Amino acid sequence: MRRIDIFDTTLRDGEQSAGINLNTAEKLEIARQLEKFGATIIEAGFPASSPGDFEAVQRIANLVKNSTVTGLARAMKSDIDTSWEALRGAEQPHLHIFLATSPIHMQYKLQKTPDQVVDIAVEAVKYARKNFPLVQWSAEDGFRSDPEFLVRIINKVIAAGATTINIPDTVGYATPQEYGALFKYIKENVTGIDKVKLSAHCHDDLGLAVANSIAAIENGADQVEGTINGIGERAGNAALEEIAVALHIRKDIYGFETGINLKEIKRTSQLVSQLTGVVVQPNKAIVGKNAFAHESGIHQDGMLKNRETYEIITPELIGETTAPLALGKHSGRHAFKDRAITMGFDLSEDKLNEAFVEFKKLADRKKEISEDDLYVLFTDRQIQH
Ligand code: KIV
Ligand code: ZN
C-alpha cells in the first residue's frame, strides 16, 4: 500500500482562525497529542511572526521526537535565519518556505514579475538548504497559478534543493477534478518530481477540501496537509481526521495508508476544540457529537439487529466509547426496551408499554431525553423481585 504522509498545520494555519490564540503551554499539549495521533510532520508555527510563535516552535522542536517539526517562513533570509534558531534543536530540522505564484498575487501583493518571483524562490531555497536538511517550498495560491509557470518555478526550486513541493489551493476554489488534473500535470511535466515529495494543501471555502486532497493523492500527491477538526482561516483547512478515516474505510478503492493512529482521533479532536474554544459542529463527520447517534426508530431497530445496517464506521475505531442509541421522539419501542435492560431495569411488558407512552409524551416536549429522565420513568415500574 502506498504511504501518504500527514502534515498537520493545526498550530499554524489552524491557529490563523479568527478568535484563536493559543499560549505556549497549550501549543505544547496539542503538539504532544499530535505526535500520538501519528502526524508525519507537525507545523508548529511561524517563528518570525512573533516572539510567542518563536518560543512555541522552539519548545515543540525540542520536545517532539516521533514527528518531524517544521515552521513557516517567507522567502526571505531574515525569516529563514529566525526559523533556524527556532528549529535547530529538532531531530530533523524542516523548513516550510512559501511564495505566491498566481498572477493576482504576484502583481498586486508581491508587486513582482514572474521572473523576479522565480529568482526569490530559488535564492530562498538555496539559502535555507545551507542549514536545513529538509525544505518544503509552497507555491501560494498554486491552484490559481499558470500551470506552465508552476512547472518552470518548481523545476528551479527542485534544482535549488527543495525536498518537498506543495501546491496549495489557498482560497479553496478548486474542484476535485481540476485539482487532481493539476497534480497529474505536475507529475508528468516536472523533471525530477519523483525525487521530491509532492504535497496538497486545501482550504474549505466551497466545502471541497477533503475531496480535493483525496483527488490530489489519487493523482500523485505523497503528502496531504490539514488541521484537526478542519479549523483554519475563513472556512478552514482540510480536516485530517476525515481524510485519515476515509482512506482507511475505503482502502478497498484507494489503497493508501497514512500511519495515523486512528484510536487517537477523538481525543485529539476534543483537545483541539477545548483549547482553541472552537466548538465542533454536532453533525461534523467522524468527530461530531452526532456522528454515531442513531435516533429514528427504524435506524435504531436496524442497529439493534445488526450494527452494519446503518454504521459504516465504528465509534471504537476513532477511540470513542460506544454511544448508547440516542432516545428522542423518533425512537422506537425496541431501542427503549434495550435501554431499560442496559440500565439494569426489569419491566413487565405492560409496564414497559406504559413507560413508553409516558416517554413519547415527554419526548414531544423535550429535544433529548436524558439518562435521569429514563431513570424516573423506569424506577416506578420496576418489577420487585
Ligand atoms: O494556504 C496556503 O497557501 C498556505 C501556505 C502558507 C502554504 O497556508
Ligand atoms: Zn493554508
What average pLDDT score do residues 304-320 get?
93
Q: How many C-beta atoms surround the C-beta of residue 195 within 10 A?
A: 8
Q: What is the DSSP string of 268-326?
A: HHHHHHHHH--PPPTT-TTTSTTTT---SHHHHHHHHH-GGGT-SS-GGGGTPPPPPPP
Distance (Å, rounded) from C-alpha 356 to C-alpha 87?
A: 62
Q: Which residue has the cell 476525515?
A: 242
Contacts of 172 (CB under 8 A, 6+ apart): 202, 203, 204, 205, 206, 208, 209, 234, 235
What average pLDDT score do residues 284-313 get?
91
Ligand 1 binding pocket includes 98 (Cβ within 6 Å)? yes
Distance (Å, rounded) from C-alpha 250 to C-alpha 258?
A: 13
Of 385 and 29, the one with more pLDDT? 29
What average pLDDT score do residues 193-215 get?
98
Ligand 1 binding pocket includes 13 (Cβ within 6 Å)? yes
Cβ 137 vs Cβ 165: under 8 Å? yes
What share of the chain has pLDDT > 70, as a percent? 99
The pLDDT of residue 322 is 66
Contacts of 15 (CB under 8 A, 6+ apart): 21, 22, 27, 45, 276
What average pLDDT score do residues 76-92 get?
98
Q: How many C-beta atoms surround the C-beta of residue 93 within 10 A?
A: 22
For residue 203, the ligand 1 atom closest to its alpha carbon is: 1
Question: For residue 306, which phi and psi values (nearest 5 degrees)?
Answer: -160, 115
Name which residue sits closest to atom 5 of ligand 1, judged by CA.
Answer: 140
CA angle, 68 then 73 then 228, to 5°: 50
DSSP label at 163? S
Q: Would you say 301 is a known binding-site residue?
A: no
Name which residue sits closest to atom 6 of ligand 1, judged by CA.
Answer: 98
Ligand 1 binding pocket includes 12 (Cβ within 6 Å)? no
For residue 168, the ligand 1 atom closest to its alpha carbon is: 3
Strands (E), the chain: 2-3, 5-8, 41-43, 68-74, 94-100, 134-140, 164-169, 197-202, 223-226, 256-257
The interface predicted TM-score of the complex, written ipTM, equals 0.99
Best mutation site among 198, 201, 203 for ligand 1 pocket (most ligand atoms within 8 Å of CB): 201
Best mutation site among 49, 72, 231, 237 for ligand 1 pocket (most ligand atoms within 8 Å of CB): 72
pLDDT band with cut points at 50, 70 and 90 for residue 343: confident
The three grid cell numbers given for residue 190, joined into one nine-digit string: 516536472
